[in-house]
Amino acid sequence: MFNVPERISLAIASRGARVLYCEIPVSRVRRKGQPLTEVSEGVYRFGPEYLGAKLNSLPVIGHLQWKAVAKQIVERAESLKLKDPVFLYSHFENMTPLCEEMRAAGYPLVHICMDYPEPYQHELIEFSDQTVVIPKQVFRELQARYGEKIQWIPQSIHLPAAEVPSHGSHSEPVEIANIPRPRLGYLGPVFARLDQPLLRAFLENNPNKHFVYFGDPDDTLPPNAHAMGWHRPDELPRYVESLDAGLMPYDCLGKKNLYCSPLKLYDYFLKGLPVVSTPILEISEFKDLVYVGSTAEELSAAVARALDEPPDSPKRALRMEVARAHSTEVQGQRLEELLALLKTGQRKSA
């Protein structure tokens, strides 16, 4: 995986700290959890075990399960000799008992809010010592409700993985080389966040434009949609370099998508690539750098404007500048500052 928790792990490690990255617990009835392994410089992964996720909703058994998971985490942290460890956690339903156990073990609690919060997530926010939020509109709403315990951090792009030759001087990946241009790319699967009826209508209206996405093929899409297999993060920039524009036709009816802060936006921006999107809130501050449409006809017009953008347009340099301001190191510095504030507040309250 190379989503928000993984990038936050790299961001913290970039500041010289060590990170114990805990996978979602697996049922020991089905398989064993991953052993403790260093997967990147300063980042150590392991997979906790319990009986099964369905049991978490049972008060007594669920609490005992999370108590066992907490014990495994603390044991791995002690084996790494982590100094003044902090427990960072995203959202997982019925996991409050795990937070209780980690607090009892002496760990400050930092909740990571990467999307519009699920209803059960408010309990995790309230239980935290500090909650860090990525989407700016979500940050504003939560800070109005919970006060200064809510802090903002930028979305991040891992620049070392993105360092490839500039456009025109690289060899295209084999599986994309035979796809005609113009190519519009979405760096993810189509089944999760996208407005599929809108996407199908757009592709049917524009048979000469080719849509490239990642993950399992979707047979309901027109023939000008092309699925790429999953790849390592360090291979992704070659695919971005092979696109003519990024396309993000998110379904904006639900708050999760409307309020999201797409990682892929900064992957496109780092190469200066024009981006076309439905009107999610996070792109409002980049209105001069993103082309927007709500309907198939509006998307068609937005794509035409994006593809007409000159290669030497100043917008390309501005997009690159925005991406660099969202680097792993920038996010790591912000997290370091917030964790220092957390420790200062704890000393005062003590």
**What's the pLDDT tens digit per position in 315-349?**
999 999 999 999 999 999 999 999 998 887 765 55
CA atoms within 13 A on the CB side of 137: 15
Rounded to the nearest 5°, which phi and psi values hold at 43? -115, 120
Strand-pairing partners, residue 277, are: 248, 292
The per-residue pLDDT for 58 is 87
3-state DSSP call for residue 164? Answer: coil
pLDDT digits (tens, 9 = 90+) for 201-226: 999 999 999 999 999 999 999 999 99
Q: Tell me the chain's radius of gyration from C-alpha atoms.
A: 22
Q: Which helix (H) or strand (E) holds 114?
A: none
Distance of CA 53 to the CA centre of its chain: 23
Q: Which amino acid is at 119?
A: P
Residues whose CB is less than 8 angstroms from the CB of residue 54 and which lie 6 or more positions away in sequence, other chains included? none
pLDDT digits (tens, 9 = 90+) for 249-288: 999 999 999 999 999 999 999 999 999 999 999 999 998 9
State the chain's maximal CA–CA distance in angstroms. Answer: 66
Alpha carbons 64 and 73: distance in angstroms, whole number: 14
User: How far is residue 326's CA from residue 7's CA, in Å, rounded to a whole number?
Assistant: 11
* Position 243 pLDDT exceeds 90: yes
**pTM for the complete prediction?**
0.90
Cis bond upstream, residue 85 (ω within 30): no
Percent of the chain past pLDDT 70, that is, above it, reads 95
**Sign of the C-alpha dihedral computed for residues 54, 56, 60 and 61 taken in this order:** positive
Long-range (24+ apart) CB contacts under 8 A made by 268-271 are 268/185, 268/187, 268/240, 268/243, 268/319, 269/319, 269/320, 269/322, 269/323, 270/157, 270/159, 270/162, 270/237, 270/240, 270/319, 270/320, 270/323, 270/324, 271/167, 271/237, 271/240, 271/241, 271/320
